[in-house]
């Protein structure tokens, strides 16, 4: 059975979620209080609706209770975001993802039962900070407060070494889970595969261990 999705709030964040879901072949109902925003999505989404989602009756009329996943991407208007989430929860939506503006907003959203709370600006800010701090870090995904997956570019020191030579698990407590070389990606690198300068290593571990690895070997 096809899943039904709705995106509420068609700003930059909600708008790009909506477009990407449509590109992936999913049916999406796009909702915003602004007629202009909805107009921009009339030809993109399966249904584009002008509505104020802080009105419970409106949510019921839109049939949102039957949706599997609703994304609340209302930006600065924290009150509307909270009210909308609360009522979506009350009418029984299966799964609700909400964009939080700050930590307090996140706390309230979790309390009222949002299934997933995302902080796109904060997370993107952190990722960019990691890239700025190191020439070797291409990308970074936070797994917990202390653990990450990081993409590192192999420098001269690593050139020609194998994972065995480097003994990364014992010395640094990290794992090299994949190696990208040009267009190829090796998702189960052998310990005896030589690394070349310019390879992109995808490394998982504690942040402090990844930092040590990078400082010592990159
Ligand atoms: P972004 O930072 O993602 O661009 P915005 O604050 O620009 O976020 O976008 C939030 C969107 O949510 C706006 O298009 C706004 O019209 C919409 N919105 C705000 N309040 C409501 C509401 N009560 N019901 C429906 N949509 C709303």
- Residue of 128, 161, 159, 160 lying closest to 142 (CA atoms): 128
pLDDT tens, position by position, 14-62: 999 999 999 999 999 999 999 999 999 999 999 999 999 999 999 999 9
Average pLDDT over residues 98-115: 96
Q: Which class does domain 5-118 fall in?
A: alpha beta
SS3 32: strand
Please give the C-alpha separations between residue 68 and each of 3, 5, 79, 106, 125, in angstroms, as whole numbers: 6, 6, 24, 22, 30
What single DSSP character describes residue 166? H
Is residue 218 scored above 80 in pLDDT? no
- Half-sphere exposure of residue 217: CA atoms within 13 angstroms, side-chain side: 26
Is residue 158 scored above 80 in pLDDT? yes
Burial of 160 (0-12, 13-18, 19+ CB in 10 A): exposed
Confidence bin at 188 (pLDDT 50/70/90): very high
Is residue 2 scored above 80 in pLDDT? no
Domain with CATH 3.40.50.720 in the chain: 5-118
Q: Compute, in angstroms, the gap from residue 110 CA to the centroid of ligand 1.
A: 20
Average pLDDT over residues 197-210: 95
Q: What is the pLDDT of residue 217?
A: 78
Nearest CA to ligand 1 atom 15: 9
Question: Which of 12, 13, 29, 33 gets mutated to test ligand 1 (max ligand atoms within 8 A of its CB)?
Answer: 33
Q: How many whole angstroms from its chain centre is CA 122?
A: 11
- Residue of 176, 204, 218, 3 lying closest to 94 (CA atoms): 3
Average pLDDT over residues 153-160: 92
Q: Compute, in angstroms, the gap from residue 147 CA to the centroid of ligand 1.
A: 33
What single DSSP character describes residue 157? G
Q: What is the pLDDT of residue 181?
A: 95
Q: 54 in ligand 1 pocket by Cβ < 6 Å?
A: yes
The string of DSSP codes covering 36-98 is HHHHHHTTTSSEEEE--TT-HHHHHHTTGGG-SEEEE---S-HHHHHHHHHHHHHHT-SEEEE
Q: Compute, in angstroms, the gap from residue 100 CA to the centroid of ligand 1.
A: 12
Q: 118 in ligand 1 pocket by Cβ < 6 Å?
A: no
Q: What is the pLDDT of residue 1?
A: 65
Q: What is the pLDDT of residue 18?
A: 97
Q: What is the pLDDT of residue 21?
A: 96
Please indicate whether residue 130 or residue 77 has the higher confidence score (pLDDT). Answer: 77
* Complex confidence, ipTM: 0.95
Average pLDDT over residues 166-174: 94
* Residue 30 Rama label (left phi>0; alpha psi -120 to 50; beta): beta
Question: Which of 10, 16, 49, 75 gets mutated to test ligand 1 (max ligand atoms within 8 A of its CB)?
Answer: 75
CATH classification number, 123-217, choose in 3.30.70.120, 3.10.310.30, 2.40.50.140, 3.30.70.1450: 3.30.70.1450
Q: What is the pLDDT of residue 216?
A: 85
């Amino acid at each position: 059975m096809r899943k039904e999705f709705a995106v509420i709030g068609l700003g930059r964040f909600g708008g790009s979620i909506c477009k990407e879901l449509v590109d992936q072949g999913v049916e999406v109902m796009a909702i915003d209080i602004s007629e202009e925003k909805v107009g921009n999505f009339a030809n993109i989404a399966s249904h584009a609706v002008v509505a104020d989602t802080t009105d419970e009756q409106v949510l019921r009329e839109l049939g949102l209770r039957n949706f599997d996943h609703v994304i609340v991407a209302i930006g600065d208007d924290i009150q509307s975001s909270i009210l909308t989430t609360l009522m979506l929860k009350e009418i029984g939506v299966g799964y609700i993802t909400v964009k939080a503006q700050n930590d307090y907003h996140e706390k309230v959203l979790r309390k009222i039962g949002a299934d997933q709370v995302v902080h796109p600006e904060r997370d993107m800010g952190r990722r960019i900070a990691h890239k700025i701090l190191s020439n070797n870090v291409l990308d970074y995904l936070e797994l917990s407060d202390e653990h990450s997956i990081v993409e590192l570019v192999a420098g001269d020191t690593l050139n020609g070494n194998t994972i065995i030579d480097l003994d990364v698990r014992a010395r640094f407590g990290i794992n090299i889970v994949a190696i990208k070389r040009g267009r190829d990606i090796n998702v189960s690198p052998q310990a005896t595969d030589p690394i070349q300068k310019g390879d992109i290593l995808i490394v998982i571990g504690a942040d402090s261990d990844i930092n040590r690895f990078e400082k010592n070997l990159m």
